[in-house]
Amino acid sequence: MWIVVWVVVVVVGVLVVDAILFRPLRPGAKRSRSLGKVPFAAAKVPRRVDTVVIGSGQGGLSCGSVLAQFGEKVVVVEQHEVSGGGAHCFAVEGRSKWRFDAGHHITIPLQEQLLHLACGTAAVPVAFDRTATQVGYSDTIALGEGPEGERSLPIRDDAQLAGELLSRFPDHQSQIRRYFDVAESVQLRFGILCAAAVFPMACRRWLVRSLALWREWAGITAAEGLRRLFPGTDEAACRLRSYLSGLWLDTGSPPSRGSFFMQTAVMGGWQKLGVSYPRGGPQLTTLAMVEAIELRGGVVFVSAPVTSIVCEGGVARGVQLASGDVISANRVVSAIGYRATEALLGRPTTGLATPQSSGFVMANIALRGTAAELGISAANVWIQPANRANGFDALKGCDAYLADPLGVDLSLVPAGITFPSLKELGPAVTDDAHHTCQILALAEYDWFAKYVPIQSTTSGARHSPPRVARVAQAEYDALKAKWAERLVALLHKAYPGTEGRVVFADISTPHTLETYLRTVRGAAVGLDVTPERFVSESELAELDMKHPRVANLWRCGQDYLMCGQVLAAASGVLCALRMRGPFDALRFVCRSDLAYPGSSNTWPAVLDALAGN
């Protein structure tokens, strides 16, 4: 007994001393203009490389940044000419007055704390502003054509949302309360499963077997869950289901295919945490982690596409680049997604049943005029495919849209509308005369499959030239023009003040995403968020962060927890801690509470967020 007490006292003492001696990073006031844009050069590779990370998205950079805090020499290789993955920003054809987000359109306040932990800095690297504090609400859900006099559904937080629904649908109050109870229970179990990701896969498989409520609800689609909780074909039941499913677009999967767990994450989970956006734009989160890695002796390379993971006797030993250079390392971390990783191993990808997700058609629209003149705000607007003709049934409307996306009535086009220029400056936003709008509409890769590039390439993606020559180019351009016409019409319908103020409307498709981010079939969120992915033990085992067949190969990113910038980053942190082992994980926790000023509430916030989202 005394031996156990003595061991515990020694371990606690070592952890406290380590936390006291640890010195958080204090970056300089000015950053190099080349930060995050350094092309690969063999001479710049450190003599000793502990870990090489493939991909510079949130998962890869957060993993590399945490490993660097433990003295590891980390090299990150990115195929694009800029780092960041979905968190980078871009201008269309050099028109820099308007800058657009590649994929970071919405996040939660927790990401500020998570970024702080990943970077290990003395001060918060990037502030995240709550959207609701700017305009009073973060999102609104609108039916494509609602009943006369019915206004859109505003969302500020969970209590306000529940109250709004209870007020609008008094005959369904018990069912609404039941929905939010189920949503909270499902999200709590997801938090437990997330926390268990730091342990070996056997722990998560045991948990899935034990969590009956998780299997019951995560194992059905969003449409099935909503119809179970809100049965009926009457107008009120259809409208209620339409509003409750109103944020499905952000899951990357339609209600008929996505897990009901994802439905509860975006409608019930988000609202407990709030919606936020990084002040200055999402690219600053990337630069903060790149800086943290490089100030600790590592390096982040761009324009460095990987052609294969070098293995010897079933053990990962490094990566080979398209240039022919080989970077040898003790361990390899792949943050580019499940199927892209398997392709680098030269292995078939039939071990996983979960398909790639859908992509998006995204309209990048430049607007001239002040926010007041345009009638726009920082709140996101989500349009549901519901009208009088289909009984205000958005679930039915989604199916109609997917069957004929350019043929359905405009009121049956599900879309998300966001204005990045009004979010990135936070409370300091000024009413500039140049604003950006992005409209997202779900799109299947097969709609555009035949318009492949004429010439394949193993080189990295470049912003310039901005166009890739494709098979049937004229037909592809005409198809994009139809999408532009439709989505701009949707913008004018939602915001009449934008008419006559559109400078240009650039259209990206799943092919565009594939060109720049290499997500496999232009998948917007990586693997699809189907029920099987979250309840099948074989699927979970195949998606372990530790590769099940190749030693010293680890994986992180949205395919290994859940989609979204913040959970991709969380997977990187968890992956790094699992790589380092339990003692270093405890060191990391103690450092975060004792060494970072103002971070004493970080871990309670993380646990609360995992339970809520």
441 within a domain of the structure (yes/no)? yes
Q: Are 298 and 74 in contact (CB under 8 A)?
A: yes
pLDDT at 113 over 90: yes
pLDDT score for 104: 80
pLDDT score for 62: 98
pLDDT at 609 over 50: no
Positive or negative, the CA dihedral 528, 530, 532, 534 is: positive
Distance, in Å, from the CA atom of 91 to the CA atom of 131, rounded to the nearest integer, reads 24
Report residue 80 as tokens: 């694009």
Q: Which amino acid appears at position 527 of this protein?
A: L
pLDDT per residue as tens digits for the range 322-366 = 999 999 999 999 999 999 999 999 876 667 999 999 999 999 999
Which domain covers residue 150, as residue numbers?
42-613
pLDDT at 182 over 80: yes
21 within a domain of the structure (yes/no)? no
37 within a domain of the structure (yes/no)? no
**CA-closest candidate to residue 557, choices 34, 30, 58, 28:** 58
| Lowest-pLDDT choice from 39-43, 463-467, 536-540 | 463-467
Distance, in Å, from the CA atom of 110 to the CA atom of 375, rounded to the nearest integer, reads 30
pLDDT score for 427: 55
pLDDT score for 610: 47
CB neighbour list of residue 478: distance below 8 Å, 6 or more residues apart: none
Report residue 86 as tokens: 């979905």
Chain mean position to CA 566? 6
186 within a domain of the structure (yes/no)? yes
pLDDT score for 347: 76
CB neighbour list of residue 441: distance below 8 Å, 6 or more residues apart: 360, 361, 362, 405, 413, 414, 415, 483, 487
Classify 69 as helix, strand or coil: helix
Mean pLDDT of the chain: 91
Q: How many residues does the chain have?
A: 613
10 within a domain of the structure (yes/no)? no
Question: Confidence band (pLDDT; 50, 70, 90) for 455?
Answer: confident
Question: Confidence band (pLDDT; 50, 70, 90) for 467?
Answer: confident
Percent of the chain exceeding pLDDT 70 equals 91
pLDDT at 603 over 70: no
35 within a domain of the structure (yes/no)? no
Specify the CATH number for the domain of residue 154.
3.50.50.60
Q: Are 144 and 411 in contact (CB under 8 A)?
A: yes
pLDDT at 432 over 80: no
Q: How many helices (H) and strands (E) does the chain have?
A: 23, 19
Distance, in Å, from the CA atom of 64 to the CA atom of 85, rounded to the nearest integer, reads 15
pLDDT score for 78: 97
pLDDT per residue as tens digits for the range 276-327 = 999 999 999 999 999 999 999 999 999 999 999 999 999 999 999 999 999 9
32 within a domain of the structure (yes/no)? no
pLDDT at 381 over 60: yes
13 within a domain of the structure (yes/no)? no
Q: Are 363 and 487 in contact (CB under 8 A)?
A: yes
Domain total of the chain: 1
Report residue 251 as tokens: 């899951």
pLDDT at 180 over 90: yes
pLDDT per residue as tens digits for the range 474-485 = 999 999 999 999
pLDDT score for 430: 58
pLDDT per residue as tens digits for the range 538-571 = 999 999 999 999 999 999 999 999 998 999 999 9
